[in-house]
Amino acid sequence: MKILVANLGSTSFKYSLYEGDDSALTLLARGGYERVSDYGETIRDAISSMKKDGHIDSVDSIDAVGFKTVLGFEKTGCVAADDSVVADLRASAELAPAHNPAYANGIEQFAKEMPNAQLVALYETAFYQWASKPSRRYAVPKAWYEAGVRRNGFHGASHKFVAERSAELLGREDVAQQVRFLYQKDQSELPGKPLRVVSCHLGGSSSVTGIRNGVAIDTSMGLSPQSGLPQNNRVGDLDSMAVTYVMKKLGLSIEEVERQLTKESGLLGLSGKSNDVRDIWAAVDAGDDDAKLAIDSLVYSIRQYVGSYMLQLGGLDALVFTAGIGENDTRVRERVCQGLEDLGLELDLDKNAVTRGEETCISAANSRIKIFVIPANEELVIARETSRFLSHNK
């Protein structure tokens, strides 16, 4: 089986082509396009490139296309990417304006260009569908909840990969097996001590998730990707009264407030310099106080969520760092772990200092809680889940 994973942005298209099934997938090809104006033309060009390189004979060589759909009001999980998914993405586009329209348009274009391929959508919210009601519910009127105002959670594919891989590294095959089939069968109570993991997906967009036996119990992002940690240029957590206050105080329209919260806030708003942590660290090293505040705020927020989930989980077996910052920023990792020795978490400073972008255990030998760096692999998760979905729905 050949599975194409499509990563769609408002003006970008990245793809990965895999061959095999969920138990053994081989990456055959990878490519991408920026400044996309015509998805149909771009898809045809990608197909032509894969044919030229000998990875496929024709468009019909591709058995399935998997999509990392972000958010829907009516759907979650791993589902057939049909017209109902497209309608669901469009209906909830206001909460994910950079992603939902792109995926809705992309799915329609792929259906035209690849009429014989099976299209499968893995919602980013899927990993959180078994979280408890208290963790998903805001204290708002019931009518708001029924209208879709709830904690959804995002980065689901990334945190799912961490859940499975950390279980394997810790020798818990029972948990890894449960994660593998998370979307295809009911979850069961596993015997023995629960495996407790906190996953820190830290990048341009960041979130922290608490995981018990491979199943998410809570996550820092809520209704939209706006909430939780300070993002690159998105605000993160904010008192809702701030919106009406600045509208009155500064004379801003709701559209301008939304623009500033999504384009000029987060690490960019705090530092006043950049939304890229590498640039911010350079400013910190040059003595910039605002840049230092941006880093301090990011670390503070990460630790706040890690501590919360440690309490909800009743302890911790592993802390995992993933994504661009998590995999490469040694100083952020060190500061997140600093001073937690009495809780059983101790970083090996030498291992941490040389670990960038590779899977490694960076905890000290005597640390009760393991600390891992696990590179993100969302495309592999989508390919696996697409294969599992098709096998389960023959």
Residues of the binding site: 7, 14, 276-278, 324-328, 378
**Binding site residue list for Mg(2+):** 7, 378
From CA 166, how far away is CA 160, in angstroms rounded? Answer: 10
Selection from 5, 218, 207, 232 nearest residue 98 by Cα? 232
**Binding site residue list for ATP:** 14, 276-278, 324-328
The two beta strands, 2-8 and 13-21, are antiparallel
| Torsion, Cα of 226, 230, 231, 233 (10° steps) | 90
Alpha-carbon separation of residue 245 from 76, 248, 249, 373 (angstroms): 35, 5, 6, 41
From CA 362, how far away is CA 69, in angstroms rounded? Answer: 33
If one counts every other C-beta atom within 10 angstroms of the C-beta of residue 304, the result is: 13
From CA 234, how far away is CA 392, in angstroms rounded? Answer: 38
225 in Cβ contact with 96 (< 8 Å)? yes
